[in-house]
Chains A and B, each alone.
Chain A
Amino acid sequence: MNRVIEELPEAASPAPGSTPTNQRRRQVTIDPITRLEGHGKIDILLNEDGDVERAFLQVPELRGFEVFSLGRPAEDMPQITSRICGVCPTAHHMAATKALDDLYQIQPPPAARKIRELVYNAFMLEDHALHVYLLGGPDFIVGPEAPKEQRNVVGVVQKVGVEVGKRVIAMRRRLRELIAYFGGKVIHPVFGLPGGVSKGLRPEDLPPFKELAKDGLDFALFTLQVFKDIVLRNADYVNLITSDTYTHRTYYMGLVDAQNRVNFYDGLLRVVDPAGKEYARFPAQQYADFVAEHVEPWSYVKFCFLKPVGWHGFEEAPRSGVYAVAPLARLNAADGMATPRAQHAYEEYFATLGGRPVHHTLANHWARVIEMIGAAERMVELVNDPEITSPELRVIPRSKPAVGIAAVEAPRGTLFHHYETDDAGLIRKANLIVATQNNSARLAMSVEKAARGLVRKGQIDDGLLNKVEMAFRAYDPCFGCATHSLPGRHALRVNIYSHRRELLHQLAQD
């Protein structure tokens, strides 16, 4: 065991979540927020009337991947950057692998490309399923103000039945076994090489994958039916989804193919304005002309915005360059889906919600299910393509490396990897724009707007605080932590002080 090493604090800084005594004024802190990426807190600041003055969604951590990538061999980046996120490691692995293709100016042989796409769509399907059933789903399937003990997968299973619960677990397990087949392991896979993949598909191993793809499509269609039955048939939920509290009019970005249809693996970036009109269409290599990052002192996360429009605060379009990514945005930015059942679901979605684009943040949950169908259909196409068992898996790079830039659509949004190397292919500079980052400005706006809309006259309760949290959960920010049957226990103490520091009200629950 190592000896304990003390690190002395910089200065007397207040403990996380507390406020200095002489400034404790009507401040409600939710710390930590839950059922999403592990670290985040929300500070709600009230004025003298008990209404919301400001609300901040703060991300309290940083690891610095772009800096400690310096000096690393570029071919190590698929496995190093996957450690940014253990729920979507495949997204980073794939973005890095494609950046290596660009770095060495090579393209993988057809079979390798198809294997990459098969793995990638399996990943999209299982990761979206995680969020639908286990993370964000409980807020809808069980209900936004349901008792906290039920707001998790236990409540979901009670609502939809234990057989469905087992079906979700088994489906995810099988999809993840496919990823592990090609990648060695599913969490931090190893298959990515510039110009190819490390492992191919043996013909004798194909039949179970054909069955899996077929079952996956059934499962995705079933999930849409579950969503329709439980969410769309409930007028209160529909009102919630379409309410102004959870609505923002921003730009939207996503990857599209040559026919402007949603594609998770490859294509051009397309940005539409709040009216749905195309604003930009560009290859990943030009991302820096369109994407810029803003910094605030109250969060470690940076806030992306459209560079040509400019940063004009946490505001909606048209003056502000704030934009969104991920399912809601992808469906808005595209003219359709690339496969028939997904296309049908896409048309139904926009017909129901009043046309394209949809600005209701909570509609992300629905758009996510439509993407599940698209991912499953693409898997069916690929496993039935005879070329996928070809042993031609790699092109060996020959050219001198310099710059490699690529993008993929991670489940939670567009992911850019940008590497610059020396002649030996060692990283000299790295820049990563990571999915949720694109959403961070709109996320902050969503939380503040929800807090303003819901917190009045200092009245706060558990259901209300959960509805504030729902404003971020719809985005499925970064980390979809797989949950399972756990009772939601919620120990919370909220102190509300007047501007004269008198304790007005205390809410406590164990």
Chain B
Amino acid sequence: MPKPKVAFYWCASCGGCEEAVVDLAEDILGVVEAVDIVFWPCAMDFKKAGLEEMPDKSITAALVNGAIRTSEQEEMARLLRRKSQYLIAYGACAQQGGIPGLANQFSREQLLRYVYEEAPTVLNTAGHRPAPQFQVDGHAVTLPEFRHRVRSLDQVVEVDYYVPGCPPTPKITKAALGALLEGKLPPKGSVLAPDIALCQQCPLVDSKPQDLSLAEYKRPHWAPIDPEKCLLSQGFPCLGPATRGGCEAVCIRGHMPCTGCFGPTSRVKDQGAKILSSLASTLAAKEDEAIVKGLNTIPDPVGTFYRYSLAASTLRGKVA
């Protein structure tokens, strides 16, 4: 009985999702026994040509992490979709665009101009920019195009399942791989993580008041943090109430608030809007002026509400 074929690939990614798989540690040996990994550029000496030659749908599951930023990443996403029965968006960037999605607040021109011309250490008198095609002595070398916007994986190809997190935890990863190999999968489009708010997994939940009523929010570097008491109740913007659980509150165990990397529960369409709503409703203020003053204690609304999800949100980005 041939082993199921599995592929891993990364798009506009930091590589943390690759590390997350390896953080299965001793458990990885069991995974490798059970599957045939046929494509993994970071780890294996494969070439794209080999992938192109595989029959369509011959790969059981491709776990693709990273957001889509370049033409090459689009092409690889489409190729892996064709070759795979299940295409899984692994990690926050594939699911929602991730932190690189924050680039959608800026135009492509702003990004390229700063990186290649305006940055304080750049000396580029020739005015070079990376070019899709570069001619040298009659030869041509090529580079992928840098697209105008960051996109999530499902904005480019059809995605079967999502494994959330920045990065996904070993526990979530192991459960997802297990479900795949045993064929015990929920309905298509599901997120392979518990469908509960993070507060339910937080060690400080018992100190979370029923009704929270804050005058303002605090920035963590300006105030002492009591690690034994609900961080939101202390005035730190902890996004636990508006974030899917599954990570078992690791950041809170590090004595810092949740920043929302596991994405929304199934009941929420736009995670940023949900976070905004959650934090706004926690403010005590009732009149407009006081409300504005209270909300202004969150100095970076986009970075706070949409840190991992801007690309996939209703907003998607800044237009002008």
Contacts and interface: CB of A to CB of B under 8 A. Distances in A.
Interface of A: 1-5, 7, 9-11, 13-20, 23, 25, 27, 30-32, 34-39, 43, 45, 53-54, 56, 58, 60-64, 66-68, 70-73, 75-76, 79-80, 83-87, 89, 100, 104, 148, 151-152, 166, 169-170, 172-173, 176, 180, 182-191, 193-195, 198-199, 287-288, 291-300, 302, 307, 311, 394, 396-397, 418, 424-426, 429, 431, 433, 466, 479, 481-493, 510
B106 A60 contact: no
B106 A490 contact: no
Contact of A61 (B17, B123, B144): B144
A191 B72 CA distance: 35
Nearest to A300: B130
B26 to A, nearest CB: 6
B224 A396 contact: yes
B273 to A, nearest CB: 15
Given A64-B103, A485-B32, A492-B47, A15 B114 contact: no
A182 B254 CA distance: 6
Contacts of A180: 250
Given A187-B19, A311-B123, A7 B32 contact: no
B69 interface: yes
Contacts of A188: 16, 166-167
B167 A302 contact: no
Give the contact-size bracket for chain B.
Answer: 35 or more
A295 B126 CA distance: 9
Contacts of A85: 14-16
Contacts of A288: 120-121
A-B pairs, 7 with minimum CB distance: A86-B16, A491-B50, A184-B254, A482-B22, A481-B42, A483-B43, A190-B256
B45 A292 contact: no
A140 to B, nearest CB: 16
B40 A486 contact: yes
B188 to A, nearest CB: 9
A84 B14 contact: yes
A298 B130 contact: yes
16 contacts: A27-B139, A32-B47, A62-B69, A64-B115, A66-B114, A148-B45, A166-B26, A184-B253, A294-B123, A296-B130, A298-B130, A479-B15, A481-B15, A483-B44, A485-B32, A491-B53
B142 A17 contact: yes
A86 B18 contact: yes
Nearest to A194: B221
Interface in B36-85: 37-38, 40-51, 53, 69-75
A295 B106 contact: no
B124 A295 contact: yes
A89 B254 CA distance: 16
Contact of A73 (B166, B224, B300): B300
A61 B17 CA distance: 17
